[in-house]
């Protein structure tokens, strides 16, 4: 079992110890659930009561919360970031084995680095390149001509279609589909004519993609996911979308085709973004918002209507149905007021 002194952890995250630096830490936990051998963290002031009652061996916190701590503390300006780095020390890592499982099928025309691992029931087609220390988990499919960069991991049942390029240190969770056809159809009198999707998908370094997310290939040019992007579960990214570096997108968001999203954006759960739009760098879009126009300035944007009691919602809905009439009446009143003679002041 891994263990570290509190002093070693402080050195890792650039923090300051208040208490016994030689105290040994054997794991991480919540404030409410931690034992005397684990370290917890306080990033949200709503949990200050749990801090006062915690049984943790030590707590990661800001200096402003230090007086509330009943135990040893690791003081830092960003407790959540410090926790993430410390938790990584205790996270189980994938097995360090290499080779090809007997039940996997790997084309003789592919290139698999000797340090990579191809798991059970995988299929790797011709022209594929799999880099050093990659882990291709059970049931994965890698299509013709695709490239997977060094130290990347496909957890299980991931489908990488033909002509996809994935950078280094990617983590791709179960059920992800990368490079499926985009939704392209031309209408005609007899129905719909499929438009061939001739582009690919290019994914940068240090990208993480959550379970059951889908990223469509481009129609002519590539769909692009830049370095450091983090995608949650069940996101739909349509053909020719471009997502800038270090943007994060939460679950069940949908990005329509040919939309360009800038760098360091934060898109919350359930957001819908229409096609052929541009979203500037450093934009935050709150949950359940619908974006139908480009956003050209950094900032926080919202359009979702928060939940309310049913009777209030029904009452407000009645007003919404009459909003156009009310606006017309208001304009009539304004015109009448504007037409009235103004009294001259002495």
Query: pLDDT per residue over 239-271, tens digit each?
Result: 999 999 999 999 999 999 999 999 999 999 999
Shared domain for 35 and 165, answered yes or no, is: no
pTM of the entire predicted model? 0.88
Q: Give the pLDDT of residue 127.
A: 97
Three-state DSSP at 86 gives: helix
pLDDT tens column, 110-131: 999 999 999 999 999 999 999 9
Eight-state DSSP code of residue 68: G
Shared domain for 74 and 210, answered yes or no, is: no
Report the range of poorest mean pLDDT among 74-83, 86-95, 186-195: 86-95
Within 10 angstroms of residue 282's Cβ, the number of other Cβ atoms is 15
Sign of torsion, CA 181 183 184 187?
Answer: positive
Mean pLDDT to the nearest integer, 215-239: 97
Does residue 265 sit within a domain? yes
- Alpha-carbon distance of 311 to 322, in angstroms, equals 17
CATH number at residue 40: 3.40.1390.10
Shared domain for 244 and 322, answered yes or no, is: no
Q: Which residues does residue 283 pair with via DSSP β-bridges, in sequence order? A: 299
Shared domain for 68 and 200, answered yes or no, is: no
Is 46 assigned a catalytic role? no
pLDDT higher than 70, residue 344? no
Three-state DSSP at 193 gives: strand
Binned at pLDDT 50, 70 and 90, residue 336 comes out as: confident
Q: Give the pLDDT of residue 2.
A: 84
Does residue 50 sit within a domain? yes
Shared domain for 334 and 257, answered yes or no, is: no
Sign of torsion, CA 291 295 298 303?
Answer: negative
Query: Residue 108 burial by CB count (10 A; 0-12/13-18/19+): exposed, middle or buried?
Result: exposed
Tokens coding 216: 């469509």
- State the chain's mean pLDDT as an integer: 95
Shared domain for 153 and 255, answered yes or no, is: yes
Does residue 111 sit within a domain? yes
Domain range for 39: 4-90
Does residue 240 sit within a domain? yes
Binned at pLDDT 50, 70 and 90, residue 346 comes out as: low
Tokens coding 123: 């299929």
Mean pLDDT to the nearest integer, 306-318: 91
Binned at pLDDT 50, 70 and 90, residue 342 comes out as: low
Does residue 59 sit within a domain? yes
Shared domain for 33 and 148, answered yes or no, is: no
Please give the residue that has the higher pLDDT: either 97 or 42: 42
pLDDT tens column, 167-213: 999 999 999 999 999 999 999 998 999 999 999 999 999 999 999 99
- Final residue belonging to a domain, choices 90, 108, 130: 90
pLDDT higher than 60, residue 345? no
User: For residues 212-247, b (16+ Cβ closer than 10 Å) or e, as one string?
Assistant: bbbbbbbbeebbbbbbbbbbbbbbbbbbbbbbbbbb
Query: Exactly one of 239, 276, 319, 322 is catalytic; which is it?
Result: 239
- Final residue belonging to a domain, choices 90, 121, 147: 90
Shared domain for 70 and 144, answered yes or no, is: no
């Amino acid at each position: 079992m891994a263990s570290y002194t509190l002093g070693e952890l402080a050195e890792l995250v650039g923090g300051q110890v208040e208490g016994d630096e030689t105290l040994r830490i054997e794991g991480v936990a919540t404030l409410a659930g931690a034992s005397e051998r684990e370290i917890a963290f306080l990033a949200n002031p709503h949990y200050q009561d749990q801090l006062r009652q915690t049984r943790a061996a030590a707590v990661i916190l800001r200096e402003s919360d230090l007086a509330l701590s009943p135990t040893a503390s690791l003081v830092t300006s960003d407790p959540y970031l410090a926790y993430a780095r410390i938790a990584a020390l205790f996270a189980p890592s994938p097995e360090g084995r290499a080779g090809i499982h007997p039940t996997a099928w790997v084309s003789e025309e592919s290139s698999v680095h000797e340090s990579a691992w191809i798991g059970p029931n995988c299929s790797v087609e011709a022209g594929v390149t799999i880099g050093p220390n990659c882990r291709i988990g059970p049931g994965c499919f890698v299509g013709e001509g695709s490239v997977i960069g060094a130290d990347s991991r496909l957890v299980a049942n991931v489908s990488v279609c033909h002509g996809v390029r994935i950078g280094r240190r990617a983590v791709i969770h179960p059920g992800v589909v990368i490079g499926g056809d985009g939704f392209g159809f031309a209408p005609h009198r007899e129905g719909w004519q499929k438009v061939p999707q001739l582009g690919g998908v290019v994914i940068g370094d240090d990208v993480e993609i959550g379970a059951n997310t889908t990223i469509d290939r481009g129609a002519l040019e590539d769909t692009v996911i830049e370095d450091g992007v983090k995608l949650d579960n069940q996101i739909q990214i349509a053909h020719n979308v471009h997502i800038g570096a270090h943007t994060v997108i939460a679950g069940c968001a949908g990005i329509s085709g040919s939309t360009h999203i800038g760098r360091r954006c934060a898109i919350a759960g359930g957001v819908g973004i229409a096609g052929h739009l541009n979203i500037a760098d450093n934009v935050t879009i709150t949950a359940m918002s619908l974006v139908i126009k480009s956003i050209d300035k950094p900032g926080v944007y919202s359009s979702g209507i928060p939940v309310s009691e049913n009777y209030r919602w029904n009452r407000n809905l009645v007003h919404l149905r009459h909003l156009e009439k009310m606006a017309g009446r208001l304009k009539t009143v304004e015109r009448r007021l504007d037409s009235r003679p103004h009294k001259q002041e002495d």
